[in-house]
Amino acid sequence: MAEHEFFRIERNGVVTSVSINRPEKRNALTPEMLVSLRHIAESFREDTETRAVIFRSDCSDFSIGADISRMDGATPSVELLRRSAENGALLLRAIREIHQPTLCLVRGVATGGGACIPSACDFRFGTPDTRIGYGEVKLGINLMWRALPLTIQAVGLSRAKQMVMTGELFDAETMRDWGFLDEIVDPKVAEDHVMAEAQKFAALPPIAVQMIKRSANAYAGALDHAVMHADSDQWLLATMTADFKEGVTAFREKRSPNFQGN
């Protein structure tokens, strides 16, 4: 498997771990990282040695989401911007379509795109310090990456609205009680525990397990792509508003935004 900047890939027998490794930026995600992670996810299609995949972080946070600093600079054409906006959805689709069972260990903060990645995995584990949320609304933009159906499937409609519409971070116990996390694990044994869970799935007959997974996902998300096809266009519209400019400015100035509905 090829090496990718900001990602560490480690094989442990029939289990492969993919670790986000950009600790100096709290694993903030750049457009290039989304493409790299998608290629990593797609590479498992040809990998018959791996029986289970773990996504995790090499730093104290899973990921704080999009690298806001990358929003500076020249604005590309609308056509190019729209294509770039689809990278997140392509990444989640690639993770969702990994044939092998996928497990995610979430430490610390996972917000925005950093919460979307676990939502695309089959099973999610947290530690007591885990906090999960979707902060896009606080920047005046919608949740994209076609991630909304995954959140609804995990926690239900009303709770998904709470998460996405408020932009708040929710603690590990709440996320477990709501169904986003399958389990909260002692941080001292978290790595070993998730590896043991991965080994449990890896020991099962792979063809049967993978068929069950794909059928379950197909049933649960039968209308996802049809309904969410325009979330990138919604994002483009939102980024053209004064509220978006105010949200980004307030974030950088570390103050409360003053949204006007414009």
Asked: is 1-187+205-262 a CATH 3.90.226.10 domain? The reply is yes
> What mean pLDDT, rounded, does the chain reach?
94
Residue range 51-83, pLDDT digits in tens: 999 999 999 999 999 998 766 555 678 888 888
Residue range 161-191, pLDDT digits in tens: 999 999 999 999 999 999 999 999 999 999 9
pLDDT of residue 2: 63
Contact 53, 19 (CB under 8 A): no
What is the pTM (predicted TM-score) of this model? 0.94
Statement: residue 29 has pLDDT above 80: yes
